Amino acid sequence: MSEFRIHHDVNELLSLLRVHGGEGAEVYIELLQKNRTPYVTTNVSAHSAKVKIAEFSRTPEDFLKKYDELKSKNTRHLDSLVYLLSKLTEDKETLHYLQQNAKERAELAANAATSSSTTFSIPTSTSKMSLQELEELRKQLGSVTANSSTQQPLELTRKILRDKQNKKNSGQPIPVFPSWVYERPALIGDFLIGTSLSTDTTVPIGTLPLASQESMIVEDLLYVLIGVDGRYITAQALVGRQSRAFSLDPNLDLSIKELVTRILPVAASYSAVTRFIEEKSSFEYGQVNHALAAAMRTLIKEYMILITQLEHLQRQGLLSLQKLWFYIQPTMRTLEILASLATSVDKGECMGGSTLSLLHDKTFNYTGDSQAQELCLYLTKAASVPYFEILEKWIYRGIINDPYSEFMVEEHELQKEKIQEDYNDKYWDQRYTVVQQQIPSFLQKMADKILSTGKYLNVVRECGRDVTCPVAKEVIYTLKERAYVEQIEKAYNYASKVLLDFLMEEKELVAHLRSIKHYFLMDQGDFFVHFMDLTEEELKKPVDDIITTRLEALLELALRMSTANTDPFKDDLKIDLMPHDLITQLLRVLAIETKQEKAIISADPTELTLSGLEAFSFDYIVKWPLSLIINRKALTRYQMLFRHMFYCKHVERQLCNVWISNKTAKQFSLHSAKWFAGAFTLRQRMLNFVQNIQYYMMFEVMEPTWHILEKNLKLRFTQSMKLDSEMERLTLEHGTMLGPPTEEERAEEAAKKKLTNKLLAEHADNLHLTSGFEATINKFDSNFSTHLLDLLDKLSVYSTNDCEHSMLNIIYRLDFNGFYTERLEHMSAERSQKAPPLLPCLAVPAQ
């Protein structure tokens, strides 16, 4: 289970239990992450857990009945849930809390019901029905009820399945049997209630001698065993999904009746299997159930051959009731297993993979009973053939041919054209998804790889290339899971290689990633110098006043004037003005799946108008199929990194501009040179901080991580990657496309500088007297020192407690001469004094 899933489930559980306050979900999440271990239930552990809950329950019969019902439906993870419940019965504190919570919720429900009942009133009717209309309505309702209790459920089920399948396979309607197949019940092979074998007068069997009674009953049994009512043994009407019951003549001799009641379960099993075969042979129930029904029909044919042979003996007078009982002994166990499987599939409404899961579990549970296991193995192999045909097409060619929605992978209709416009990973995540209930239990561990294998091949196929796995081999059902694992692993490795080679060779994945690195991770220094020089004035404006087309034109100009001009994908870079600043964007991301999410999303936008610098970001156009990898989520992460780095670069430029103005101020003899020194020192400390932070992020965090990414790509890529050609260095003297300045322009610029310096000299001495310059500098210095010390202190704690030793590098760079060391040690001493003493219950005993 992923960390995100744990967060979601814990928050949902707390919400259902209506838990408010306390320490929040984080405490429980941390405990689960530390203590979670995989647990595999066995028959022994599941049985002991079931017994423990039954002993604990006030109504053990109801619990066991419900457990057997869910087990017969092949409910997923039932034993794991029962094991969890058995563990809860041992936790008194949790039980007390759950009981209290249930009591409170019951009281709230009762109060709500009481309040609603007091305000409820029957609406008055403005029109009345006549007695004739009322009687007609009663007849219609009666006919509907009568019809729904007989044939309506099966017809309705088939219609629902047929409509669902036709909707999925538009243009290719599912074939159906002609209506006369369902209108002629005599074709089914099961009992026809209300009919009799013959119109002859039946002789009361109680008046016949014992030998005659036995002969009559043997004849009746031979008919009943093939689904035809006899004279003295008749089938009762079915009620719901119950097993078939029979009525015996009450005058039958008790000794004969006792043996007949032992034989009749064979007829009941035959009836259940026959109904299953006829029902599941319809196209609507899918290919797996159809194959299972066909395999059962083969076994029923062998059973019918046995009955025919017994009829031949009966005509010769050589078949007694005891001999009949002896001859059907081997078939009795077979029909019992077939009926059990048919009933389980029917109750669980199983199709496709869920049917195979049930069959596999039954086969595995019959370990020790070789005859029963061999029978189940035969049925599972037969039923798995159409499923494995779909699986083979998926993992070997990337094609899904699943008209009856039986496969574990489901295809959804999505258009790649829309994906190209939004270039997110919706196509990858939602085009093909796993249907949990259709995963056979013997393929559960490989479900993710099966999904990915077909996806990889499908992506290549969608790009116009036909692919077929060269190691394709027929998948055959077996109890040894290693056979599936090896075949799926080979197909997965081939699909991975094909897709990776396709993306890296034909679609130039590495080159696109490098292009993104150039712009979003700011490793093209000359490009950003040109771009920020060109857009500085424009980005100072409020974001609503910025003309996007002007920024796009300046971006193109900067790209053409720098080494980025050699980038073949430079035209994919675009301007994006975000609706919120970086901090708000980060808060929105961190608030996902938390209580604060709704408040942050629905909050009013900030009253402060964003500047272009705060809203500015790059965007990148990614085309199919690279959009599966460089998706919107990945680009959003790159954008957040870029916005942070870009703003740091802007601050550095501003501090460098201050340095230039400081250089100009030093040319004059100022009476206030003393307080200028503090400003110079503060500027230098700020500049040192910004430059070192940028260095750490770029060269100690992002650059090593980038090399790891490239190394991993090279390890997976079997052929050498094509390197980009060397970038040409372009140098322009003036920074525009107008060429170098003329002599007249140089003279004009020198005159402007001279006038500016004169004004600065006259204004500098009066600055601190009129605007409190010295106090402002001292305030900036105090704030900067406080925040920097707090940052260094947190970095020190983080590097020590969480063993993030790489943080020490930035600490040493920012405090390279020990200027802040003394104050940091003082803060550490104060923190250790304020820390509470270790609680006895948390102390770790000595080993």
Q: How far apart are CA 591 and CA 397, in angstroms?
A: 41
Contact status, residue 503 vs residue 721, Cβ threshold 8 Å: no
Pairing of strands 409-411, 432-434: antiparallel
The residue type found at 810 is I
Q: How far apart are CA 18 and CA 595, in angstroms?
A: 13
Pairing of strands 246-248, 233-235: antiparallel
Q: How far apart are CA 129 and CA 135, in angstroms?
A: 10
Q: Which DSSP string do the residues of 111-137 spell out, in sequence order? A: HHHHHHHHH--PPPPSS---HHHHHHH
Answer with the residue of higher pLDDT: 601 or 293: 293
Q: What confidence category does residue 322 fall into, taking pLDDT thresholds of 50, 70 and 90? A: very high
Pairing of strands 233-235, 409-411: unpaired
What is the DSSP secondary structure assignment for residue 846, as one 8-state letter? P
Q: How far apart are CA 422 and CA 309, in angstroms?
A: 71
The residue type found at 44 is V
92-103 mean pLDDT:
78
Structure tokens of 188?
């089914």
Q: What confidence category does residue 390 fall into, taking pLDDT thresholds of 50, 70 and 90? A: very high
Task: Return the pLDDT at 124.
Answer: 43
Q: What confidence category does residue 119 fall into, taking pLDDT thresholds of 50, 70 and 90? A: very low
pTM, to two decimals: 0.67
Q: Please give the C-alpha separations between residue 679 and each of 514, 682, 685, in angstroms, as whole numbers.
A: 41, 5, 10
- Which of 112-121, 157-166, 420-429, 499-508 tops mean pLDDT? 499-508
Task: Return the pLDDT at 726.
Answer: 30
For residue range 710-767, list pLDDT tens digits in order: 888 777 753 333 322 332 332 233 333 334 445 665 566 556 555 555 554 454 445 4
What is the DSSP secondary structure assignment for residue 806, as one 8-state letter? T
576-593 mean pLDDT:
79
Q: What confidence category does residue 667 fall into, taking pLDDT thresholds of 50, 70 and 90? A: low
Contact status, residue 404 vs residue 351, Cβ threshold 8 Å: yes
Q: How far apart are CA 331 and CA 563, in angstroms?
A: 84
pLDDT exceeds cutoff 60 at 88: yes
Lowest-pLDDT range of 35-49, 66-80, 391-405 = 35-49
pLDDT exceeds cutoff 80 at 185: no
pLDDT exceeds cutoff 70 at 828: no
Q: What confidence category does residue 425 fall into, taking pLDDT thresholds of 50, 70 and 90? A: low
Q: What confidence category does residue 144 fall into, taking pLDDT thresholds of 50, 70 and 90? A: very low
Task: Return the pLDDT at 50.
Answer: 82
pLDDT exceeds cutoff 80 at 663: no
Structure tokens of 709?
């990414």
Lowest-pLDDT range of 148-152, 254-258, 798-802 = 148-152
Lowest-pLDDT range of 357-366, 420-429, 444-453 = 420-429
Lowest-pLDDT range of 149-163, 228-242, 796-810 = 149-163
Task: Return the pLDDT at 409.
Answer: 92
pLDDT exceeds cutoff 60 at 657: yes
Q: How far apart are CA 141 and CA 720, in angstroms?
A: 77
pLDDT exceeds cutoff 80 at 53: yes
Task: Return the pLDDT at 380.
Answer: 94
Strands (E), 169-288: 233-235, 246-248
Task: Return the pLDDT at 735.
Answer: 34
Task: Return the pLDDT at 388.
Answer: 94
Task: Return the pLDDT at 632.
Answer: 82
How many percent of the chain have pLDDT more than 70? 70
Pairing of strands 246-248, 409-411: unpaired
pLDDT exceeds cutoff 90 at 292: yes
466-471 mean pLDDT:
85
Helical axes 353-365 vs 370-397, angle rounded to 10°: 150
pLDDT exceeds cutoff 70 at 664: no
Contact status, residue 288 vs residue 358, Cβ threshold 8 Å: no
Mean pLDDT computed over every residue of the chain: 76
Q: How far apart are CA 826 and CA 265, in angstroms?
A: 88
Using DSSP, state whether 460 is helix, strand or coil: helix
75-84 mean pLDDT:
78
Answer with the residue of higher pLDDT: 83 or 670: 83
Answer with the residue of higher pLDDT: 96 or 273: 273
| Residues 221, 223, 228, 229, Cα dihedral to 10° | -50
Q: What confidence category does residue 341 fall into, taking pLDDT thresholds of 50, 70 and 90? A: very high
pLDDT exceeds cutoff 70 at 95: yes
Using DSSP, state whether 367 is helix, strand or coil: coil
Q: How far apart are CA 508 and CA 514, in angstroms?
A: 10
Q: How many CB atoms within 10 Å of residue 674? A: 10
Q: What confidence category does residue 43 fall into, taking pLDDT thresholds of 50, 70 and 90? A: low
3-state secondary structure 277-322: HHHHCCHHHHHHHHHHHHHHHHHHHHHHHHHHHHHHHHHCCCCCHH
Q: Please give the C-alpha separations between residue 759 and each of 506, 664, 753, 755, 817, in angstroms, as whole numbers.
A: 62, 11, 10, 6, 38
Task: Return the pLDDT at 38.
Answer: 53
How many percent of the chain have pLDDT more than 90? 16
What is the DSSP secondary structure assignment for residue 511, as one 8-state letter? H
Lowest-pLDDT range of 4-18, 584-598, 667-681 = 667-681
Task: Return the pLDDT at 506.
Answer: 87
Answer with the residue of higher pLDDT: 837 or 377: 377
305-321 mean pLDDT:
91
pLDDT exceeds cutoff 90 at 269: yes
Task: Return the pLDDT at 148.
Answer: 40
Q: How far apart are CA 456 and CA 629, in angstroms?
A: 12
Q: What confidence category does residue 770 fall into, taking pLDDT thresholds of 50, 70 and 90? A: very low
Looking at the chain, the number of H-run helices and the number of E-run strands are: 33, 6
What is the DSSP secondary structure assignment for residue 844, as one 8-state letter? P
Q: How far apart are CA 19 and CA 24, in angstroms?
A: 9
Query: Which residues partner with 233 through β-bridges?
Result: 248
Q: How far apart are CA 34 and CA 13, in angstroms?
A: 19
Q: How far apart are CA 406 and CA 383, in angstroms?
A: 12
Q: How far apart are CA 376 and CA 384, in angstroms?
A: 12
154-162 mean pLDDT:
70
Which residues, including other chains, have CB under 8 Å from residue 158's CB and lie 6 or more apart?
282, 284
Lowest-pLDDT range of 292-296, 322-326, 587-591 = 587-591
